[in-house]
Amino acid sequence: MKLTQGKINELLSESACEHNHKKEGKGKNKSCTQVAQPGAAQGGCAFDGAMIALVPITDAAHLVHGPIACAGNSWGSRGSQSSGSMLYKMGFTTDLSENDIIFGGEKKLYKAILEVKERYSPAAVFVYSTCVTALIGDDLDAVCQKASEKAGVPVVPVNSPGFIGSKNLGNRVGGESLLEYVVGSQEPEYTTPYDINLIGEYNIAGELWGVLPLFEKLGIRVLAQITGDGRYRDIACSHRAKLNVMICSKALINMARKMEERYGIPYVEESFYGVADMNRCLRNIAAKIGDRNLQERVEILIAEETAKLDEALAPYRARLKGKRVVLYTGGVKSWSIISAAKDLGMEVCATSTKKSTEEDKARIKELLGKDGIMLEKGNAQELLRVIAQTRADMLIAGGRNQYTALKAKIPFLDINQERHHPYAGYVGMVEMARELDEALHSPVWAQVRKPAPWATAEPGLAID
């Protein structure tokens, strides 16, 4: 895939992304095209985004073509888990030196791909370009093609120099590479009317494993996981699915739309977080597959699971009821987690709408009620101000804001990709309730808020 300005613009203005329509013709929404400002500190780059999207393909080698910073400072840090191959956890990089930059890195890359193939026999090699290799003009596509012919294994170029934009754009660049080189390149051994793909679920903390058993019980086959705990071959066969299920992410929407165009696979956008969403997800899948019998099975499963869940959640509900939370997370997760918190009897007094679409915002409004605060933009100070103003009991946010909360001595729950606990599906609700309870009721809060007794006592009064 050649990375042209046209291609980047296409990814930025993805027509299926709600950011880009429902705008009544009033220009493009900034969310997709927005770039980091000099002097800011937030967020990864397009290279980071491409890695996030593709590294969960567990049986592939992910080779970074660039200087040491890009892989050396980041390898092995993704929370995505595997039920099989651990190859994706290894860091591979051409680790360019000054000489490579002067004379070009193509030869080194070619040899590197062959060495990786030779020593690690991957199902495929994904090769990521970076700012420096894009700048010196290495022809990634040509090298990958040549190396693939020589090595006899798929070598997929991912043109992802960090400077083209944000993490979100990088996700889509990753999706584009899958569309161009992987999807449709192999055929499954057999198909069933109940084959679906999951897109945009990365199996963080093993979340997927709380959900897959549900599909199994219903007789739904997940043909390809794109990309959490994914296998190269499955993704290569994913064009034979009957339905694409986009999970909690606008990141790979370009894949869902193009697979609909090319292979006639319809898609639904769902979430695995919270009881209401999990129920809706299963119902929508069954409705889309259009099998009356399956729909009946879904209703039975939901009844069983929610009854079990009610019992498991009862003790937590008692302890969490009425607790006030401020939520600071992006996109679909905003309303999705509000709904989960409400399920537990908690009150969400403010939430961010940073990466949310108009549709997300409407849903948030409905869920929050009239007193709820919608934070358009926020930094540490702003977050602390809102927490104080709403007398919130805790902050639920991404790891980036963890220390904002902890240093202010406010209970915190990590909801983003660095977390260690799976919150998806019905079992995930129990896990989340347990974590919320632990965070809120930890005995440390009273102790860390307590000033030293000698510091508060007035001099001379300490001794009676």
Partner 1 sequence: MATIATRRKSVAVNPLKQSQPLGSALAFLGLKGMMPLFHGSQGCTAFAKVMLVRHFREAIPLSTTAMTEVSTVLGGEDNVEQAILTLVEKSKPEIIGLCTTGLTETRGDDMQGILQSIRKRHPELYDLPIVFVSTPDFKGALQDGFAATVESIVKELPRPGETRPNQITLLVSSAFAPGDVQAIKEMIADFGLTAIVVPDLSLSMDGHLDDNSGSVTSGGTTLAELREIGSSVYALVLGESMRGAAEALQKQFGIPYEVFPSLSNLDAIDSFIEGLADLSGLPVPEKYYRQRAQVQDAMLDTHFFFGRKQVSLALEPDLLWSTVHFLQSMGSEIQAAVTTTKSPLLEALPVESVTIGDLEDFEQLAAGSDLLIGNSHVASISRRLNTPLYRMGFPIFDRLGNGQRSTVGYRGMMQLLFDLGNLFLEQEESHAKH
Interface residues toward partner 1, by CB under 8 A: 35-48, 63, 66-77, 86, 89-98, 100-101, 108-109, 111-112, 115-116, 119, 130-132, 135-136, 161-166, 380-381, 384, 399, 403-404, 407, 409, 448
How near is the Cβ of 391 to partner 1 at its closest, in Å? 20
* Of 272, 304, 324, nearest in space to 436 by CA: 324
Instruction: Give the burial class of 411: count Cβ atoms within 10 A of its Cβ; 0-12 exposed, 13-18 middle, 19 or more buried.
Output: buried
Helix residue ranges per DSSP H, 292-424 = 292-320, 332-343, 358-368, 380-389, 402-407
Nearer to partner 1, 50 or 208 (CB): 50
What's the half-sphere exposure (Cβ side, CA atoms, 13 Å) at 130? 21
How near is the Cβ of 306 to partner 1 at its closest, in Å? 37
Nearer to partner 1, 71 or 211 (CB): 71
Segment (H or E) for 64: strand 61-65
Between CA 421 and CA 207 the distance in angstroms is: 8
Nearer to partner 1, 170 or 428 (CB): 170
Nearer to partner 1, 36 or 312 (CB): 36
Between CA 325 and CA 8 the distance in angstroms is: 38
How near is the Cβ of 36 to partner 1 at its closest, in Å? 4
**CB-based contact 411:445 (threshold 8 Å):** yes
Residue 338 dihedral angles phi and psi, to the nearest 5°: -60, -45
What's the distance, Cα to Cα, between the start and end of the chain in Å? 80
Nearer to partner 1, 303 or 388 (CB): 388
How near is the Cβ of 362 to partner 1 at its closest, in Å? 31
Nearer to partner 1, 47 or 328 (CB): 47
Between CA 218 and CA 220 the distance in angstroms is: 6
What letter does residue 195 receive in the DSSP assignment? E
How do beta strands 267-270 and 243-247 pair?
A: parallel
Q: Specify the residue for token string 């651990």.
A: 86
**CB-based contact 187:240 (threshold 8 Å):** yes
How near is the Cβ of 138 to partner 1 at its closest, in Å? 12
How near is the Cβ of 144 to partner 1 at its closest, in Å? 14
How near is the Cβ of 151 to partner 1 at its closest, in Å? 13
How near is the Cβ of 164 to partner 1 at its closest, in Å? 6
